[in-house]
Structure 1
Amino acid sequence: MSSSTIVFLTGAYVSHACWDQWQSFFQEKGYNTMAPPWPGKDADTETLRRRHPDKHLSAVTMDDVVNHYTSIIQKLPEKPILIGHSFGGLFTQVLLNRGYAAGAVAIHAVPPQGVFPYELNFLKSNLPTLGFFSSLDKTYLMPFKKWQFSFTNGMSLEQQKKGYEQLVIPESKRAARGGLTKAAYVDFSKPHPPLLLLAGTDDQCIPEHLCRRVHKSYRDRNSVTEYVVNKRNHFVLGLPGWQKDAQFIYNWLQTH
């Protein structure tokens, strides 16, 4: 893959600081990297929590986020490699489909429109942030108990608390709901640059079964669409040994 630029795309619920170590890893490999925050999230975790419930952030839609990333990408000197996690993995697929990437990696990604997420653990993890039973004008802050179930299952209480304190921020329900609309549209039959989809056997937020259904939806046989499953929960970016996943992705990028 010819691009020397990587744009990391952050998912819902957490700060873009989740990419700090990953940026350092890929910079040491010679890449130029960036992890732009969403609109309304350009601050540290503590500041964003103090704003909750945040009317400015609650107004942000998925289209706003994708358009924000698009404007950043269009200013770059080359098409970048996109690496996204969770909701950021959906943005990655949408932007790849629209022709804005030299290649892409979607890590435990929210599914594009048309792959309906009926898996029970997905619904338990994500229904509250869709805002069907609460005001869309108030942001959603994931409770610690939900964090334990959806992101950090299987980890020690100390690790769970540390991750929660460092990363969890308020979320826009409007943006989350956009994942069910045409904003999340991907043409699965369209040829595309290389795409790697990663899934985790222990992920309760984005279950492996759901990721597998997304992979099977891609239909262009001349495009590289690879699917890899590891024993991971949804906190894959911050798990002990995250370097192994980063190295795997680096090797994959060199291959393609």
Structure 2
Amino acid sequence: MTNIVFIHGLWVAHTSWEPWITYFAEHGHHAIAPAWPGELPTVEETRHHASAQAGFGIDELTAHYARVLEQFDTPPVVIGHSFGGLIAQKLLGENKAAAAVAIDPAPVKGVKPLPLTQLRSALPVLGNPLNRGRATALTPSQWRYGFGNALSSAESDALWEQWSIPSPGKPLFEAATANFAPHSPARVDTANATRGPLLITGGTADHTVPLVSTKAAHRLYRDSEAVTDFHEFDGRGHSLTIDHGWRDVADETLAWLARRGVVEVA
């Protein structure tokens, strides 16, 4: 049995990983999906107490999940989506995880492409500097552009209703200015040669983290002798971990973990 920790990103509740937890358990693995600091147990509660998440940045989030990993006897696998993928890379680079899967991860320091779709997806937060210290939510139309653009409007709206929550703006501001900050919290030790294997994925239709950004992140690891793989999900948007095709992503994740000898095939 392999221990796995799921880490969600901005605007999606930690409970969105519940289907993954069940699916991974069916394959013989033990998985958990801890909430972000300030996030409450349910979507409804988190929506009604948005300010509880305000002010938490990348360093605080990484430290929070590092404490979670320390509870295991041996380092677990971390699987993160979006900003969860950035945090997963940081934890792996610090040798606190056995392996990591970064699904359409938020850009780490050194990723230079900034497509217009990515900028437009972030504009609801970055457009107001005061949002750095706030927790904000996406409207259904903003969610549709950033997450559900590869889905029907009906499915996008349903996912917004089921899983969307307010999230802190600070991580987005930190990532946006990472290449101008010498000690940016978005920095990852991409040269670490002793870490476990890493898989980075990109969706070809992703507006929030476009494929060019995930490919640029993968290239940052070229000087490391550790395993760094890349997988492209054709036609998939940023909702790929929660929409109707999530099992395809889960299956590829499990298959990669098995190929790299991280887990045993159930």
Task: Place the TM-score, normalised by the shorter chain, in its bin.
Answer: over 0.9
**Partners of 1:173 and 1:167 in 2: how far apart?**
18
Specify every segment of 5 or more residues in structure 2 that has no aligned partner in the other structure, as ranges: 179-183, 261-266
Q: Which residue of 2 aligns with 1:151?
A: 147
Letter in 1 for 2:233: N
| Aligned positions of 1:218-233 closer than 5 A | 218-231=221-234, 232-233=236-237
Q: Which residue of 2 aligns with 1:29?
A: 27
Closer/same/farther in 2, CA of residues 158 and 33 from structure 1, 3 Å limit? same
Q: Which moved more, 1:92-101 or 1:183-192?
A: 183-192
Letter in 2 for 1:138: R
**Partners of 2:9 and 2:134 in 1: how far apart?**
19
Tell me whether 1:234 sits opposite 2:230 in the alignment.
no
The answer to whether the Cα contact below 8 Å between 2:110 and 2:220 also exists between their aligned partners in 1 is no
Cα RMSD over matched residues? Answer: 1.6
**Partners of 1:126 and 1:237 in 2: how far apart?**
19
Q: Which moved more, 1:151-160 or 1:99-108?
A: 151-160
| Aligned positions of 1:19-58 closer than 5 A | 19-52=17-50, 54=51, 56-58=52-54
**Partners of 1:221 and 1:137 in 2: how far apart?**
36
Q: Which moved more, 1:7-16 or 1:108-117?
A: 108-117
Q: Which moved more, 1:130-139 or 1:33-42?
A: 130-139
> How many correspondences in the alignment?
252
Q: Which moved more, 1:100-109 or 1:124-133?
A: 124-133
Specify every segment of 5 or more residues in structure 1 that has no aligned partner in the other structure, as ranges: none
Closer/same/farther in 2, CA of residues 127 and 223 from structure 1, 3 Å limit? same
Deviation of 1:222 (Å)? 2.4
Tell me whether 1:246 sits opposite 2:250 in the alignment.
yes
| Partner residue of 1:173 out of 149, 169, 172 | 169
Q: Which residue of 2 aligns with 1:87?
A: 83
| Partner residue of 1:189 out of 188, 191, 194 | 191
Closer/same/farther in 2, CA of residues 173 and 136 from structure 1, 3 Å limit? same
Q: Which residue of 1 aligns with 2:201?
A: 198
Deviation of 1:95 (Å)? 0.6
Q: Which residue of 1 aligns with 2:130?
A: 134
The answer to whether the Cα contact below 8 Å between 1:129 and 1:173 also exists between their aligned partners in 2 is yes
The answer to whether the Cα contact below 8 Å between 2:94 and 2:189 also exists between their aligned partners in 1 is no
**Partners of 2:9 and 2:189 in 1: how far apart?**
21
Deviation of 1:117 (Å)? 4.6
Q: Identity across aligned pairs (percent)? A: 32
What's the CA shift string for 1:87-129, capped at 9, x where partnerless? 0000010110011111110000011112135111111101332
The answer to whether the Cα contact below 8 Å between 1:82 and 1:104 also exists between their aligned partners in 2 is yes
The answer to whether the Cα contact below 8 Å between 1:197 and 1:226 also exists between their aligned partners in 2 is yes
**Partners of 2:70 and 2:23 in 1: how far apart?**
24
| Partner residue of 1:110 out of 102, 106, 111 | 106
- Compute the TM-score of the two structures, normalised by the length of structure 2: 0.90
**Partners of 1:135 and 1:153 in 2: how far apart?**
24
| Partner residue of 1:12 out of 10, 13, 18 | 10
- Compute the TM-score of the two structures, normalised by the length of structure 1: 0.93
SS at match of 2:249: helix
The answer to whether the Cα contact below 8 Å between 1:111 and 1:117 also exists between their aligned partners in 2 is no
Deviation of 1:51 (Å)? 2.0
